[in-house]
Structure 1
Amino acid sequence: MNEFINSLTNDGADQQQLKVVSVLGSACLGKTTFVRVLYKRIGLQFDCRAFIRVSKNPDMKKIFWEMLLQLERQQCPPQYCKEVDLINMIKNYLQRYLIIIDDLWSASVWDIINRALPKGSHGSRIITTTQIEDVAFRCCRYQSELVFEMKPLDDDHSRKLFFNKLFGSESDCPEQYKEILNEIVEICGGLPLATVSIASLLASQPALTIDLLTYIRQSLSSLFSGNPTSERTRQALKLSFHNLPQCLKTCLLYLCMYQEGYTFYKDDLVKQWMAEGFIDSTEGQDVEKIAESYLNQLTSRRFIQPIRINFNNEVVSCAVHGVVHDIIVQKSAEENFVVAIDCNEENVDLYHKARRLTLFGNPRYAKTPTRSIIESQVRSLAFFGLFESMPSITEFKFLRVLNLHISGYGTSV
C-alpha cells in the first residue's frame, strides 16, 4: 500500500498532471479489496471521488449515471439523460478528482470511460483494476512503471490471515492442529479469498477434529491438483458452498436474480428473503434479525462482500464476487432455482417450470418470454428495465413476490 501511494504522489514537477495507474492480477488476489482500502485512505485528499465497478458486460449509461451520482452526491442526475449528456455533465463537474474503475475487461470500455474524464492539470488520479495485461498497459499508455502487479501473499501473511480468521491469532491455535493447518494454508497458495474462505469454513464448524482437518486437506489437494491459480479459489469456494447450511445456500442462490457486479442494499435483500419465505424461525423470534444474521454469516464466509459500511460499522450495501456469482448461477441452473433471462440476447432459453424469474434488458425491442413461461408457476418476478417495457403482471397468475428496478439504475419498487 505504501509503495502504491508513493507511486501516486512522488512525481516532482509532474505532481499536478493527471496520472492513470493500473492494478493488474489474476482473479481473487485482492485487487478490489486493495483499491477499496486505498480509496478510503486517500480519497479525502481530492475535491471529488467515485468508485465504479465495471464487470464483463457493462451498461455504459448506468456506469456514467452512477459515477455522476457519487460525484455530486447532493443531486441525482435525471434518468432520462442520454449517455452523451451524462459524459458532458461529468466533464463539467470534475476538477481535482480520484476515480477508481474496478474490474475492467476490455480496452474499448476503458476508451469510452476515458472520454468522460478531463485531462486537466489539477493532480487528479485514475486507478483501474483488471485481470488482463493489455488492458492494464492500455490504461497507462503502455508505461510499465504505472502498472502495479498484485501477487499472492507470502507464507507469513497467508498464515496470519488464516489463523486470525480461525482463532483470532496464530498463538491461539491448539498445538495438535498446527501441522495440518499449516499444510492447508500452504495448499491455498497465498490466494487471499481461498485462504479466508477455508478458514471461515473451519471456523463455522461446531468443533475441530483431526478427521475433519484431514478431510479438508485431502479435498483441497484433490481440487487444486492440476488447476491454474485462477481456478483454485473457485474450487475452495465451491467446497465452502457445499458445506453451508441449507438455509444459507438458499439465500445465497437467490442472489443470481441480480447480474454480475450489481450492488444491492442490505435492507432490501433482507426483506426479499423474508418475502420469499427463506428464513427459518419459530414463534416469537424476530424474523428480520434472523435474516440479518444470515447475511452476516454469508459476509463472514466471504460469499457476500460489503460495499458500503456506515459510521456504526453496519453494512449498508453489498455485492458478490464475480467468481461467487458464477458458482451460484451454475448451481441455480442445476436446481432450476432461478431463471434469469437477458431479453437483449438473440437466443433465449425458456423454461416451463420457472418458479423465480428475472428479466433483464428492454424486452420491448428484444425477444420476450413466451406465454408458456408466463403461464407456468412463476411465484417470484424481478424486472430490470424501462417501465413501458414491463410485462403484464396480471398474466402471472401465481405471483406473490414482485421486485421492480425501473430503468435499471437503482430505482426499486
Structure 2
Amino acid sequence: MGGMGKTTLAQLAFNSNEVKNNFEKRVWVCVSDHFDKLRVANAIIQRLEGQGCSSSATLESVLQSIHQSIAGKKILLVLDDVWTEDYINDWEPLYNCLKNCVNGSKIVVTTRKETVALMMNSIVIPINKLSESECWSLFKHFSFNGRSDDECRELENVGKEIVSKCKGLPLAAKTMGCLLRIKRTRIEWEDILNSGMWELKEFKKGIFPPLLLSYNDLPLMVKRCFSYCVIFPKDYQLNKDELIKLWMAQGYLGLGHEREMEMIGEEYFNILASRSFFQEFIRDAIGDIVGCKMHDIVHDFGQFLTKNECFAMKDNDFGDSRINFSFDKARHLILMVAENSSFPISICNIKNLRSLLYQFESDMNSFDGVLLELLGKNTCLRALAMGGITKFDMMTGVRYSYHIKLERIPKEIRKLIHLRSDDECRELENVGKEIVSKCKGLPLAAKTMGCLLRIKELE
C-alpha cells in the first residue's frame, strides 16, 4: 500500500552518515509503475559516472557500462517504487550486470506489492501500519503545534476519531495534521470528521480521502496550481521559480505587475508545501525553498483529478501500446526526447494545448516540421519551454518560453498571441524596435512582431 513510509525510511538510511561512510558509491533510482529497463539502467550509470550513455546506446551496452563501472567497488543501489513482477525479462538482466561489485554491496527495493518483494529472493522487510498511538503522535506533531493546552484538550477527542480514519498510514496522518493545523475551532474539526469524502467508494481503501479533504480546502487558484504540477513525471525535481512562472503563464496568479504575481505564486507554493503536497525540499544558503518533489501518491492523486489533461511522455513511451493518451483532453504536455529519437507524429493530433514543455538532449532541427505543425494547431498555447537545445530556429507567440536561441518567426505560427515572458530580455512593454534592439540574434523586421500582441519578455 502507498503512503506507508517505505520511501521515507529508505531515504533516511540512504542519507545516513553510517551508510555514506560504508559504501563507495550510492545510487538512488525511482522506477515507478512502468519498468523501462533501458531508462533504469541509464539512470544507474548516470549516477555512477555523472553522465548517462548516448541515447542511441542499446540496453546491452548500458548494462556493460554498469558492469565495468562497479568493478571492485562497494555500492548501494536503491530502486524505489518497483512494480514489475517479470523476473526473467525485467529484473534478471539488470541483476546479472550488478554482480561485478565487491562483497558487502547491497540492493534495496521498495514496492507496494508483496509479490515483487518475494520475486527478489532476498530478505523481505514488511512495513506495518502505525499503531493508533503512533498515528496519534504523528498527527499531534503537525496539528497541535502552537496551540495552548486548553485548545489541545478541547480538540483531543475529535482528533483521535479523525486519526482512526487514517488507518495507520503516515502520509494520511501527516496530511490531516497539516490541514487541521489551520483549523482553529472544534466545529471545523468536526466538519472534517463528518465529511462524506471518507466514504467515497473509489477512495475508501487508500490514501486519497485525506488528500481530497485537504485539496478541497484549498482556494480555487491554488487547486489549479497543484493540478498543473502533474505535468511533470514522478520523482521530478521541481524548480520553484520556474514553476511559479508556468503558473503565471496560465493566468493562475491573476493579472497585474509581474512582481505582484511572483509574490502570489510564492504564497500559493508555500500553501501547498505546508499541506504536504510537496516534499523533499531543497533550500538555498539562507534556508529558502528553491526546489521540491511530489510524493508518488500525491502525484497519483493529481492525475486522478486532472483526468488526462496533464501528460509527461519520454521518448521510449512513444511506441508503447500500454501508454494510452486521450489527446482530446490534453491541455498540458511535457516531452522528454533523447538524441536520435523519433518524434511521435501522433502528437500532432493535439489541438487544445495550453502548455508544451520540451526537453531535448541535442540538435532538434529534424523535428522542425512536426513541431511547426503542432504549434500551428495549438493557437491557445500559453507556455512553451525548450530545454537543452543546441540549435533551434524558431520562436512562437506563447506567454512563457525559455532556453531558445531565437532567429526567426515562421509565418505558420504567428497566430500564437500570448507570449508572456522569458529570462534574458526583461520588461519589454512594447513590440517592435525595442525588442530587436535588446535581443541579439533576432534579424526580424518590427512588422513581423506585430502579430505577437502581448509580448512582455523575450530571449
TM-score, length basis structure 1? 0.77
Alpha-carbon distance change, 338 to 348 in structure 1, aligned in 2, over 3 angstroms = closer
- Which region of structure 1 is more displaced relative to structure 2, 324-333 or 169-178? 169-178
Match of 1:319 among 293, 302, 308: 293
For residues 96 and 358 of structure 1, what CA distance do their matches in structure 2 show? 37
Alpha-carbon distance change, 110 to 299 in structure 1, aligned in 2, over 3 angstroms = farther
Q: 2:78 corresponds to which residue?
A: 100
Instruction: Indicate whether 1:54 and 2:31 are aligned.
Output: yes
- Which region of structure 1 is more displaced relative to structure 2, 77-86 or 60-69? 77-86
Instruction: Indicate whether 1:256 and 2:213 are aligned.
Output: no
Q: CA RMSD in A?
A: 3.4
SS at match of 2:125: strand
Q: 2:413 corresponds to which residue?
A: none
Alpha-carbon distance change, 198 to 337 in structure 1, aligned in 2, over 3 angstroms = same
2:75, 2:101 within 8 Å by CA — same for their partners in 1? no
For residues 219 and 230 of structure 2, what CA distance do their matches in structure 1 show? 18
The Cα offsets for residues 235-264 of structure 1, whole Å up to 9 and x where unpaired, read as 211121111112221111112212344443
SS at match of 2:178: helix
Alpha-carbon distance change, 171 to 48 in structure 1, aligned in 2, over 3 angstroms = farther
Q: 1:21 corresponds to which residue?
A: none
Match of 1:233 among 207, 217, 222: 207
Q: 2:193 corresponds to which residue?
A: 217
Q: How does 1:233-312 map to 2 (within 5 A)?
A: 233-280=207-254, 285=259, 287-306=261-280
Match of 2:57 among 57, 68, 81: 81
- C-alpha displacement at 1:53, in angstroms? 0.4
Alpha-carbon distance change, 125 to 357 in structure 1, aligned in 2, over 3 angstroms = closer
Q: 1:113 corresponds to which residue?
A: 94
Match of 1:178 among 148, 153, 156: 156
- C-alpha displacement at 1:306, in angstroms? 1.7
Unaligned runs of 5+ in 1: 1-25
SS at match of 1:244: coil
For residues 202 and 221 of structure 2, what CA distance do their matches in structure 1 show? 30
Q: Which amino acid aligns with 2:222?
A: L
- C-alpha displacement at 1:71, in angstroms? 2.1
Unaligned runs of 5+ in 2: 390-402, 405-459
TM-score, length basis structure 2? 0.70
Alpha-carbon distance change, 202 to 46 in structure 1, aligned in 2, over 3 angstroms = same
For residues 112 and 289 of structure 1, what CA distance do their matches in structure 2 show? 50
The Cα offsets for residues 54-109 of structure 1, whole Å up to 9 and x where unpaired, read as 00113333322222222233x56444433322222222122101111100101333
Q: Relative contact order: is structure 1 or structure 2 higher (C-alpha 8 Å, sep ≥ 6)? A: 1
Q: Which amino acid aligns with 2:5?
A: G
Percent identity for Structure 1 against Structure 2: 26
SS at match of 2:292: strand
The Cα offsets for residues 153-175 of structure 1, whole Å up to 9 and x where unpaired, read as 12232122111111238985532
Instruction: Indicate whether 1:380 and 2:361 are aligned.
Output: no
Q: How does 1:165-204 map to 2 (within 5 A)?
A: 165-168=142-145, 172=149, 173-204=151-182
For residues 89 and 130 of structure 1, what CA distance do their matches in structure 2 show? 26
Which is greater in Rg?
A: 2
1:164, 1:170 within 8 Å by CA — same for their partners in 2? no
1:53, 1:102 within 8 Å by CA — same for their partners in 2? yes
Aligned length: 370
For residues 266 and 85 of structure 2, what CA distance do their matches in structure 1 show? 39
